[in-house]
Amino acid sequence: MLPTDCSAPLHPAALHGLTLFNQGEYFEAHEALESAWRAEPGPIRDLYQGILQVAVVYLHIQRGNYQGASKVAARCLPKLESSPANCRGVAIDQLLSDFHIVLEALHRLGPQHLASLDQRLFKNIHYER
């Protein structure tokens, strides 16, 4: 479902989660974003869940779990792709562009070569504080 309240501010836990994400703390980012997801009513929940799932994909890649990364990626893409280009100050279009580059590398390398995925491809999420 398309978020209709994109002009509202980010939930404080989401702000914290984005900070953690940008520090490469993907597990902690997931936890903080999950708190925001649980606290928020309405369609914005899908946006928070999509972002937290990107963090989970990156965590699975770091842990060498190709199948987990692929499954979570498939679930999060529809949530992010249904969002406007910018929602609550988060540059969703840039996040998707960066994420697609990671997914292309993930699928090109496959499970046998996942360890060689260049984690410098994990870009920061751009957002207004």
| Longest Cα–Cα distance in the chain | 43
Cα–Cα distance, 98 to 83 (Å, whole number): 16
Amino acid making up residue 27? F
Q: Give pLDDT tens digits for 2-37.
A: 556 899 999 999 999 999 999 999 999 999 999 999
Given a contact cutoff of 8 angstroms between Cβ atoms, the answer to whether 106 and 70 are in contact is yes
Provide the residue ranges of all domains of the chain, joining segments of one domain with +.
12-121
Identify the band that residue 41 occupies on the pLDDT scale cut at 50, 70 and 90: confident
Given a contact cutoff of 8 angstroms between Cβ atoms, the answer to whether 26 and 62 are in contact is yes
Structure tokens at 83: 């969002």
Burial class (CB in 10 A: 0-12, 13-18, 19+), 110: exposed
Task: State the pLDDT at residue 129.
Answer: 80
Given a contact cutoff of 8 angstroms between Cβ atoms, the answer to whether 94 and 53 are in contact is no
Q: Give pLDDT tens digits for 84-129.
A: 999 999 999 999 999 999 999 999 999 999 999 999 999 999 999 8
CATH topology of domain 12-121: Hyaluronidase domain-like (1.10.3450)
Task: State the pLDDT at residue 76.
Answer: 95
Q: Does position 43 have pLDDT exceeding 90, yes or no?
A: no
